[in-house]
């Protein structure tokens, strides 16, 4: 007669790995600092833009959502730093060894980190963008930038702005997993994602201009605009390009995570 063996209460499952990464993320002071800093910058710049705007001024040709969410360009750096800390930060603290000891297959750790970070980044950035837009409209209601959430493209641009920040930050998270160094990953992100497109844009070649439309920051700008931007990609291809960039960064991190020692 055989006796059935009860399942171990300590068995590693995807749900438990995700829950572990969730608690780990929220237990870090850097999570609160970066999220609050990003939110404060975006909201503060949005209120400033709304309070100082006058109809017919130099910003009259800028999309309303782009105008009030201009601080996203600064707040996004805070989220990128958080993405890097989620992965590379564990290597500098040595916690990654404990994580990979508990989850020896390794890759579930990276996927759980990416999933948890995506949920936190997107929800926080969407809420921040929504609040910033509504607060800025308190100043813009009697100007030519007055808009409502029900206006064509407005809610989509707010959601797109949050998605763009999230995907850009996932690229940073992937770089952190690949390089395993907070300073190195930060430098690679600034140089490769922010500076390199500006340098390439100086080249007098049409092919380069066409390719630059699908670079991360350029594609992100498309998603955050309620109206089509001139000489830019459309929203669908821009979103796809950003997803591919984020997927490539995470894929590189996954390959090296399997091949290298912690």
User: Got the DSSP string for 98-149?
Assistant: HHHHHSTT-HHHHHHHHHHHHHHHHHHHHHHHHHHHHHHHHHHTTSTT---T
Each domain of the chain, given as residue ranges in start order, spans 14-259
Asked whether 160 and 224 are in contact (CB, 8 A), the reply is yes
Are the C-beta atoms of 135 and 47 separated by less than 8 Å?
A: yes
pLDDT tens for 209-249 read 889 999 999 999 999 998 888 888 899 999 999 999 999 99
pLDDT digits (tens, 9 = 90+) for 127-174: 999 999 999 999 988 888 889 999 999 999 999 999 999 999 999 999
- Residue whose pair of structure tokens reads 């770089």 in the numeric block: 175
Task: Note the pLDDT of residue 1.
Answer: 44
pLDDT at 187: 95
Measured CA to CA, the distance from residue 76 to residue 34 in angstroms comes to 10
Backbone angles phi, psi at 87, to 5 degrees: -105, -65
């Amino acid at each position: 007669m055989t006796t059935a063996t009860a399942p171990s209460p300590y068995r590693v499952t995807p749900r438990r790995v995700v829950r572990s990464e969730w608690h780990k993320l929220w237990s870090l002071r850097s999570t609160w600092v970066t999220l609050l800093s990003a939110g404060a910058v975006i909201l503060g710049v949005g209120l400033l833009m709304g309070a100082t705007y006058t109809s017919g001024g130099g910003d009259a040709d800028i999309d309303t959502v782009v105008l009030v969410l201009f601080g996203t360009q600064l707040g996004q750096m805070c989220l990128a730093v958080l993405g890097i800390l989620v992965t590379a930060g564990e290597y500098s603290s040595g916690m990654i060894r404990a994580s990979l000891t508990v989850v020896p297959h390794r890759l579930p750790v990276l996927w759980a980190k990416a999933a948890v970070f995506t949920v936190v980044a997107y929800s926080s950035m969407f809420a921040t963008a929504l609040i910033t837009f509504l607060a800025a409209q308190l100043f813009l209601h009697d100007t030519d930038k007055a808009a409502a959430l029900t206006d064509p493209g407005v809610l989509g641009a707010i959601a797109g702005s949050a998605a763009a920040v999230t995907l850009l930050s996932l690229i940073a998270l992937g770089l952190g997993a690949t390089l395993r160094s907070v300073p190195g990953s930060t430098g690679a992100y600034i140089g490769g994602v922010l500076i390199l497109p500006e340098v390439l844009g100086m080249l007098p070649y049409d092919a380069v201009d066409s390719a630059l439309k699908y670079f991360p920051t350029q594609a992100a700008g498309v998603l955050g605009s309620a109206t089509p931007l001139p000489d830019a990609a459309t929203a669908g291809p821009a979103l796809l390009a950003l997803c591919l960039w984020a997927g490539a960064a995470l894929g590189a991190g996954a390959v090296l995570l399997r091949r290298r020692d912690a």
